[in-house]
Each structure stands twice: as C-alpha cells, then as structure tokens.
Amino acid sequence: MMTPKRPSFCTDVPMSPMARSCFESVDEPMSPVQGLTLSSDASMNKAAPDCSAGGLGSDPWDDELIANLLSTLSIPLASRPQCNTWQCDMPSIAPKAAISMGNGKDKKSIRVDAVLGSGAFATVYQAIDQASGIKMVIKVQKPGHPWEFHINTQLDARLAPDVRHLFSRFHSAHLFRDGSVLLGELHGYGTLLNAVNLYKKSASLGDKLMPQPVVMYLTMCILHMVEQLHKIHIIHADIKPDNFLLGESFMKNTMFEPDNLNHGLSLIDLGQSIDMELFPPGTAFTAKCMTSGFQCTEMLGGRPWTYQTDYFGIAGTVHCMLFGTYMQVTNEDGVWKTNGNFRRKPHSELWCEFFHTLLNIPDCGSLPCLSSLRSRLASILKDHYANKLPGSVRRLVVLLLENRPSKK
C-alpha cells in the first residue's frame, strides 16, 4: 500500500482560524470514522452537559463568541506575565532569521532553524534560544489567535502537576496587531501518523502495520490523556494521529505499566479546544466540523454533541494505528460502524466493542468510561504481550531514530 500524501489544509474549508492544526504532517490523514457503543462513567456523567436540559449552542469556534469569552475572563489574558501585547506589527519570522522576543530579563534572542509545518492560519518553526541552546517551537498565527494561549493557561491551572507534561506547553505568548507568536516546547521524534507510515515504508517488517502490543499500549496512553482533559472540562476537538507527538521520554522509556506517566506521548494543538467552564451547565453544540472526515457521528447524524467529538477522534486515531488507513464510518440500521475488518485482527471482539462504544454514544449525558476501556487493554497487554511489548517498542524507537529528520 502506498503511503498517502496529506492534503494541505489550505484546500479545506476552515472551521475558524482557531481550528487550524499547527503541526501539519506531510503524510496523508486518516479517512472518516464510524462507531460503537459505550458503558457509562459516573464522573463524566457529572461533568458532561445534559443535552435534554436545553442550552444548545451552534458553533463553539465562532470568532465573535471566542472574543466575547476572552473578554469575560476573571483574569484577563493580557494581564498574565507570560502574555506580551505589542502595539506594532509582527516581526518577520522565517528560517535562518534571528529575532528577539520579550523585554528585560525575559528577553530571548532566538534563531529560527526550520519550518515544522504550516496551515492556512499558522506556521510552526523549530528554533533555538541562542543563550541557553534550548530548542523550541514557535507557532506563528495570522491573524492572531490568543485563544490557544488561554487554553494553555487553563491546563497549567487545572491539571495535576504530574500530568501537565502530557500536553503541549507554551511558555509565552506575544500578541501583535497583525498576528500572534507562541513559544513552546519541542518534541523531536515526529507524530503517531509519521510512525504509522514508517511501518508501511519499512521493507524489513512483515505486514507493515504497527504491532498489536504497540497499538494497545499507545491506545492505553491516549485514553488516559483524554480522560485528564475531560476531567478539567476541556474538549480538545481535534484529536487525530498527527496531533500526538513522540518525545525524548518515549525513546528512553522501559516501563510499560498502565500508571507510568513518562511514556513520552504528548497531545498538541489545542487551538480549537472548547473550555466548557465558560459555558452554562447543560450547553451542547450543533456545529459541524467542515473537514468531513473528522465529523463525529453526532455531527453526521444532526444530534447535539459535547465531548463526543473527542471519543470519535480517539477511534479514528486507533483505527489509523491498527489498519494504517484513515477511518470511515457508515450507519447501518441506526448503528455506526467503521470500515475496518476486525475479524482478521487478534482480539477482534475487544476492538469491535471498543469502536462500537466510542461511535454509538446514546447522548451527551451517557458518555463512555475511558478508564474502563483502558483497564481492559491493560489486562490483555499483561496477559498476552508482557514479554513482547518491550521489544516491539524498541523496534519502533529504531525506526524513529533512523528516520528522524535533521533540522540544523
């Protein structure tokens, strides 16, 4: 199977400027997803809005709505020490450029090294702090998009310190008249989508798909990460394999227990995330993501949604790891199903239930229990793959090292 080429987001109809992906891969995206049924989660039932209670909102990504939400924050974004507002246009930022950001002791002299990715509203660069030698990411947005930095501040405030590193972190924001610049952490070993395509390209591997124990392990990590976001009432709203990055910890990790938080996977690009604490209790949404392959089954069926869009994103990401292709979904007699042939997969019953659960959610008040799904995967990993998982991960590490792009 040939490795698909990822279409440029410039050709897609945008949800809004904030909905653009900041780390665009050169690989092709998955195809659309379809779904399964769920068990209920007590804590999520408490946190999730009750669609039956009313409070429908159309578009959580509307530019005017976002501006109004930012204007009503108890702590204005511009008053935060990490947020710098400049009464001038943004400096020219391009590879090989040397720029200065900040004032006084916080001023940084930065050398821009290379483009990591670009979309219609953002370009992401790899850069280096010339004083410390620390590599970083610079996300440049035109027009400016301070919302993502708001989400960053909420992750800092609401997440437990031991899980904050599981999500991208921006150390500072610089807001100019014509755009915005975010400075953040660099994760240098590519995305899950890149990893999937490395298997497809490797001549030394048999079926050229990610091994079952690695898929299960990474799925277990993903479920835990999304669970942490939902506990603090944040909907990511753009979960896909190219928004999971592999970092240094992944290359060094030798502990694969379910409670190990240093697994090296990081969820990025929260620019279209939804902060449910800024909406009245009971709010649900009716807007549709304009990129059809990423519309959750509620959007496809014209039903209200909240956290369901993230469950759909989990299903699509796992489908990509299992089959090496993007997920597509169809509705058969009221049941959403994927295009994946699970009968040929080990533990087919588990995967059928997994996808059915994530794609066939009854309503906004009956969300699946991610910790239950994670526990089931952990049990199968322990019983069937305890000895195989370390070797399988090491082979992936070798692939990542051999194919790591050099950005000097």
408's CB contacts (< 8 A; 6+ apart) are 113, 114
Element (H, E) at 53: none
79's CB contacts (< 8 A; 6+ apart) are none
Q: Which is catalytic among the residues 27, 238, 275, 310?
A: 238
Q: Which two three-digit tokens encode residue 222?
A: 């993903």
130's CB contacts (< 8 A; 6+ apart) are 98, 109, 110, 111
The residue written with tokens 């050169």 in the block is: 26
Rg (CA), the chain: 21
Q: How far is CA 25 from the centre of its chain?
A: 13
The residue written with tokens 């660099």 in the block is: 186
DSSP lists the bridge partners of residue 118 as 123
Residue 262 CA to residue 275 CA, distance in Å, equals 26
181-to-101, 121, 123, 198, 284 alpha-carbon distances in Å: 9, 12, 10, 32, 31
Terminal-to-terminal C-alpha distance of the chain: 32
Per-residue b/e over 355-394, b at no fewer than 16 CB within 10 Å?
A: bbbbbbbebbbbbbbbeebbebbbebbeeebeeebeebbe
Q: Has 62 been annotated as catalytic?
A: no
- The catalytic residue positions are 238
